[in-house]
Structure 1
Amino acid sequence: KLSKKELESLSRAWVRAMYKYLGPTKDVPAPDVYTTPEIMAWMNEEYMKLTGEKNKGTFTGKPVSAGGSLGRDVATAQGGFYILQNIIKKKKISKPTIAIQGFGNAGMTMARLCFAAGYRVVAISDSAGGIFSQRGLPIEKIIKIKDSEGSVVKFKEAKKISNQEILELAVDVLIPAALDNQLVAGNASRIKAQLIFELANGPTAPEAEKILSARGIEIVPDVLANAGGVMVSYFEMVQNKQNKYWTRVTVLKKLKDNILQEWQTIYNLAQKKKINYRTAAYMVALQRLIKAQK
């Protein structure tokens, strides 16, 4: 494990190696697994030092005090939740049961949002394992335990399960929010969820998706489900460029309006063409790329 000083040195060294290929009009990195706002601030500071530029928009996910955007800390899960809420309403599911694999920023925030909405979060997990209760888990209480003791498995009032077992629970919605390739050919036939909502990047292997689709299990793909983080990173760039900063309410309203519009576009195309949501999302993206090149 790196010390804070070593982590800062590594972060700044990466920028020194890559800064010529970065910039607000070239390539703008955003945070991901294990990347904190402080790390993004170090990187942005190093970039400005190397280039002499004062534009803070080359790195996003920064602390608010360093030019970050309000709402960016919850944007990935919040954007996903807006879509999930819409789907549950469309399907008329009353008090849906939810299982969430992964309890980092995105998974924890999604669990909190689902719990607050009255959904029954029956299982969650982190790198140490998972917990399950058919009655539903007290998410706020478990977050406190996670913060103080390091893992959700320290919660004693639920059954212990593995990260593989959580994927195979009979729930309305399964939310992989950890790492890639969790749903593979070997376990796809045992998945019991009605809907898979990809909050992680690439959690469903292509061969697993074929099996799941053939079984009638819908998948909301990562390119849409976790797009909220990237959307608010774009909002952060805009605010940096204008040097005008929005309220949290404004950021989240813009996020909700934009991501629900994208979801509706993809949903309508999937219904019209009788294709899955991932294919529809890719079609929309390719159509936009072609239009932009003309």
Structure 2
Amino acid sequence: MPVVAGGGTVGAAAHRRHLTPSRKGTPGMVDDVVTGPGAAGDPRRPGTGSAPAPTQPLTPPTPLTAPPPHAGPLETARAQLASAVQILGLSDGVAEMLASPRREINVSVPLRRDDGTVQLFRGYRVQHNISRGPGKGGLRYAPSVDLDEVRALAMWMTWKCAVVELPYGGAKGGVTIDPRHYSSAELERVTRRYTSEIMPVIGPERDIMAPDVGTDAQTMAWIMDTYSVNQGYTIPAVVTGKPIDIGGSLGRPTATSRGVVHAARAALADAGTDLREVSAVVQGFGKVGSHAARFLAEAGTRVVAVSDQYGGVRSDDGLDVPALLRHAQATGSVVGFEGGEPLGDTDILTLDADLLVPAAVEGVLDEATARQVKARWVVEGANGPTTAGGDRVLAERGITVVPDILANAGGVVVSYFEWVQANQAYWWTENEIEERLERRMLEAYAAVARTARAEGITLRDAALTIGVRRVAEAHQIRGLYP
């Protein structure tokens, strides 16, 4: 059976004593954003792609056929919230408030291209909830970005920050642009214009951005500079994930991946096993997946397959991950690696392995795919990789899913550390950061697992219950104005 939600923190029955009971029926959801950072299918310019940056421009292989349609991220996010609302017994009014974004910004982002022509893009920033603190969430550049996707990602950020007890609300931003088709100078102009358009609603105490799909530390540097110039002095804490030389934090580039591995280790320990005793597959070889594969291999896990948006590679004896990283850096893809056999990207989800780490795009584990999953544990490195239907199937099959709002929270945890360091102008060592990250992740997992066992619900429902309860209680304590 999968681990389920309840105990250690406050059980569902105790929640109901503090929150208004619901009326009959499902509460109406009002409209409210990895893939996770570094997803396999992420469109990026050279240097931020689905593998470590190549030393020179390369022509990647042709991408595989797009996966079949699946439930959109906003539909999945709403279904997850509805489950938590039912467990907690929240009123329709509270549920509607939790489902609705606090603020949505929809802006035009004009770009004068290097050839003198003008092109217009849409930009978004959604602040889903700020009851526990300023908004926090990444900025993504991708051709698929739309308002519903950003709404979903912002909602997930709200619960994620609450689950790991960060003093943040949830936010997310995006620009509908494929960064692979634009020069660095053009991307700088897009970034600075987007920043200027949303400047009234961002800031170190309002809404703090970070890298996501298609953006990187340099993007954050442009945002920080644009914001600082307009304020008249340097404000490093307006963004996280920026370069070390201007106030970035040690450990930030690999934090999400380290968090994924900490979560996997904790889930395995719950079952009486260890990373050294299992095999793993990683879908996605970008910022999250590539480092997750490396850390798993370093921990003694036999990594038998990985994939990116162009294809995959497998070896039942275990891949040489350091050699694979070098190959991906040199070629821009894992395809063609001589240390294993070719593999289709979607095939990786149903391989016979103990641990599956989906670190690519949203919605890949739908009902049909979930029925074919052979892994005993799924640890979500991406945001929203499992649809509501897929989640239900995995639970019925007894497969333990460590949900995204817990498993990939390492990135926002170290973003918080960076924000704290910037505000104090005092910097921690990398060892201090890694120790604090591990402690925060293991404490969060333990609370979720206790809740799961006590309430007899899945880890996802447990994490959502904890996150939603904390946000709802913040609403209740603060009250409504006027």
Q: What TM bracket, shorter-length normalisation?
A: over 0.9
Q: Trace 1:1-294 onto structure 2 (pairs within 5 A).
A: 1-93=181-273, 95-293=277-475, 294=477
Report how many aligned residue pairs link the two structures.
294
SS in 1 for 2:363: coil
**Structure 1: how far apart are the matches of 2:264 and 2:339?**
28
Structure 1: segments with no counterpart, 5+ residues: none
State the 1:53 CA deviation: 4.3
TM-score, length basis structure 1:
0.97
Q: Is the 8 A contact 2:284 2:309 kept in 1?
A: yes
Would the aligned equivalents of 1:146 and 1:154 in 2 still touch at CA under 8 Å?
Answer: no
Structure 1 residue 79: deviation in Å?
1.3
* Over 3 Å off, 4+ runs: none
Q: Is the 8 A contact 1:122 1:136 kept in 2?
A: yes
Q: Which moved more, 1:92-101 or 1:116-125?
A: 92-101
Q: What's the RMSD between the two structures over aligned residues?
A: 1.1
Cα distance in structure 2, aligned partners of 1:282 and 1:190: 26
- Structure-1 separation of matches of 2:294 and 2:381: 14
Unaligned runs of at least 5 residues, structure 2:
1-180, 478-482
Instruction: Give the partner amino acid of 1:264.
Output: A
Aligned residue identity for 2:438:
K
Indicate the structure (1 or 2) with the bigger Cα radius of gyration. 2
Give distance in 1, aligned partners of 2:262 and 2:394: 24
| One-letter identity of the residue aligned with 1:34 | G
Matched-pair contact (CA < 8 Å) for 1:57–1:240: yes
Q: Say which structure is richer in strand.
A: 2
Instruction: Name the CA distance, whole Å, in 1 between partners of 2:250 and 2:292.
Output: 18
Residue pair 1:270, 1:280 contacting (<8 A) in 2 also = yes
Bigger relative contact order (CA 8 A; separation at least 6) = 2
Question: Which residue identity does 1:30 align to in structure 2?
Answer: A
Is the deviation greater in 272-281 or in 25-34? 25-34
Q: Deviations over 1:107-138 (max 9, x none)?
A: 01110011011100000011110011111000
Q: Deviations over 1:227-269 (max 9, x none)?
A: 0000111111111100111111111111111111111000000
Shift of 1:51: 2.3
